[in-house]
Amino acid sequence: MAIREILLVPNPQLKQVSEPVERVDDDTRALMDDMLETMYDAPGIGLAAIQVGVPLRIIVMDLAGKDEEPKPQYFINPEILEDVEELLPWEEGCLSVPDYYEEVERPGRVKIRYLDYHGKQITEWAEDLYAVCIQHEMDHLNGVLFIDHLSRLKRQRAIRKVQKAARDKALEAAE
């Protein structure tokens, strides 16, 4: 297992549409293991493969609370089959847009279908944070970030903030 580098906005790779996984094999699982380790290290509650530069339709997630046992979840080629009209506002963040948080509204319940770590097909309803997170991650698979749901002004502000932090960090490292 290895921790990989997380791509930050405005990296154009984050706008790529990711490709379906053709078969779930040991290479797929090795990538998912790396993604999970990278997500825990960050730390975050979800991660899409494109965030580590791999344009495949793969997501990892762990929504367990601080005092709970870890509960890693793996999603390959996920699809939304159904959603509800009722929107749920949630303050979102993204490891590719560090230290920026803003409210986004998404359907509060979604029926999803995906392949798990072993390539087994699962169909289930996700709600609350699970619904928010899977929709945030599935957006990544289509090259969409949560800031794309905000006004242009807020989006520009978020990107500038990340760019400034990266500049400051580079300057600090050069001292």
Catalytic residue among 5, 37, 82, 137: 137
Q: What is the pairing mode between strands 72-83 and 87-94?
A: unpaired
Q: Which stretch binds ligand GNR (CB under 6 A): 19-27, 45-53, 107-115, 150-158?
A: 45-53
With respect to ligand GNR, which residue has the nearer C-beta, 83 or 137?
A: 137
Q: Look up 37 and say whether it is catalytic.
A: no
Q: Which does 106 bind (CB under 5 to 8 A by kind): ligand GNR, Ni ion, none?
A: none
Distances (CA, A) of 83 to 109, 116, 140: 6, 21, 18
With respect to ligand GNR, which residue has the nearer C-beta, 24 or 145?
A: 145
Q: Which stretch binds Ni ion (CB under 5 A): 34-42, 93-101, 105-113, 151-159?
A: 93-101
**3-class DSSP state of 71:** coil
Contact between 102 and ligand GNR per CB under 6 A: no
Query: 49-86 burial by CB neighbour count: b if 16+ within 10 A, else e?
Result: bbbbebebbbbbbbbeeeeeeeebbbbbbbebeebeee
Task: Tokens for 53, please give them.
Answer: 């530069």
Pick from 60, 126, 133, 162: which binds ligand GNR (CB under 6 A)?
A: 133
What CA–CA distance (Å, rounded) separates 113 from 171?
45
Nearest distance from residue 21's CB to Ni ion, in Å? 19
Q: Is 20 exposed, middle or buried (0-12, 13-18, 19+ CB in 10 A)?
A: exposed
Element (H, E) at 29: helix 26-41
Q: Which stretch binds ligand GNR (CB under 6 A): 14-22, 26-34, 69-77, 91-99?
A: 91-99
Binding site for ligand GNR (CB under 6 A): 44-48, 51, 90, 92-96, 132-133, 136-137, 140
Catalytically active residues, by annotation:
137
Binding site for Ni ion (CB under 5 A): 94
